[in-house]
Amino acid sequence: MDTEQVITRFPPSPTGTLHIGGARTALFNWLFARQHHGKFILRIEDTDKVRSTKENTESIIESLKWLGLDWDEGPYFQSQRTKIYYEMIEKLLSSGKAYYCHCSPEELEKKRIEAIKKGLKPKYDGKCRDLGLGKAPGAVVRLKSPLTGKTIFKDLVKGTISIENEQLDDLILQRSDGSFTYNFAVVVDDSNLGINYVIRGDDHVNNTPRQILIYKALDEPIPQYAHLPMILGRDKAPLSKRHGATSVMAFKDMGFLPHALLNSLARLGWSHGDQEIFTKQELIDLFSLEHVGKSAGIFNMEKLLDLNAKYIREENDSTLADLLLPFLSQLGCKDLPREKVKCAVKTLKARSKTLLEMAQRALFYFQEIDYEQQADEKFLLPDVLYILEDLLLDIKGATSFDQKNLENIFSTLLERHQIKLGTIAQPLRVALTGKTVSPGIFEIMEVMGQEMVVKRLSNAILHIKSKKGP
């Protein structure tokens, strides 16, 4: 690579939220720029006035920030750059590289149908190409494309791609309503912003020869292109909503950590040997377009869940508590003591795959409980009543409530009643949490605190007594 500063860009359209495919494209552009100490530019392609929304723009920006993909310039908005487009149209018209076409839509449709009937490619026949027509109502501006030769470019992922120029149309640059077409606006923006590496999905491969012809007509340097493979679901079909969440913010709302998603995105179409897990700095250091595959990447939700669980286990309790609080708030637990949440996290992080799952499992610490019917019928029975009543007296009389002291209380209780912990463990777990599955008994009792444990035990005892009848 030469000494020219690398400048990449990510140009989302705010006609929707940021999805996995777009996030992967943003990541690869960001990694390439960061590795080469270049610039990463954000541009919002909001020329579709009907479908573009402020909410989607804000969501895209929030998604990129959440993933940690910072940009060096922007966001630029295409809707604010029309002056530049007009200037470039005039440049092409005055140099004879573009022309006004007065053909009506009806006329063009008629020609298209006739071409298809004859088995020909339905492209514009160039009727207005050399007529020297001026601006008029309903007129469009077309590029005067070369009629012979080939347009060839070296794709940094796919290799050399060549297309006969005769297959390319005199494409429209400016529509009859004055708006500008995608291919024209993209070239003008990329050229104006100095973009020299265009890394994007391979659904844009067909646009590239057309865009190169516009670069040549403008007499501007042509960037290097790299087209990334598609992302498929496990059924090998293009990733869509039927495969589950595809929006970045949906993954955030489900309780994924940003680096887990980032790590998974990096592995969609790129590899570094057999390594599966990377720090952010490792991704920057190791990323290369040479190791982006030609075949589609398969998005695997199970792998992402396992990876997220790993990052949750490795995260410190204090950070997890801060991340968990909004999820608990959404579940109705507001204004919680942060220290208690931090203690709860310590008991739950080993088995939680997402923050949402952790929050749901933590509810028994912060809300009144209901007994699961099956657990109630199986474990909250009269034959454990006298043991629970005895335990309640011990708990009320405890002078300290840490795990060590709780273990001593239970050791004495088990010896007194000549029973094993298994006899009382599940009834006690159901009494305290309402469920048969929870973290360790001593762990949860310490987090709950003496007052809550006394209350839950007392409620369970009354509940069992109510089953015995009068």
Report d(CA 203, CA 98) in Å as an integer: 26
The tokens of 64 are what? 């990129």
Provide φ and ψ at 239, rounded to 5°: -60, 130
| Other beta carbons less than 10 A from residue 176's beta carbon | 16
Number of Cα atoms under 13 Å in the Cβ half of residue 284 = 12
User: Rounded to 10 degrees, what is the CA torsion of 373, 375, 376, 377?
Assistant: 90
Report d(CA 294, CA 310) in Å as an integer: 29
The tokens of 17 are what? 């939220």
Report d(CA 153, CA 27) in Å as an integer: 24
The tokens of 281 are what? 């700095």
Provide φ and ψ at 248, rounded to 5°: -60, -45
Chain centre distance of CA 108: 42
Report d(CA 32, CA 23) in Å as an integer: 14
User: Rounded to 10 degrees, what is the CA torsion of 98, 101, 105, 107?
Assistant: -130
> What order of strands is seen across the sheet that includes strand 7-10?
7-10, 39-44, 73-77
Which residue numbers are catalytic? 241
Provide φ and ψ at 84, rounded to 5°: -65, -40
Single-letter residue type at 111: K
Report d(CA 209, CA 314) in Å as an integer: 47
The tokens of 100 are what? 């006004």
> What is the DSSP code string of 239-274?
P-GGGS--BHHHHHHTT--HHHHHHHHHTSSB--TT
Single-letter residue type at 89: I
For the CA atoms of the chain, what is the radius of gyration?
Answer: 32
The tokens of 442 are what? 């001593």
Report d(CA 440, CA 116) in Å as an integer: 73
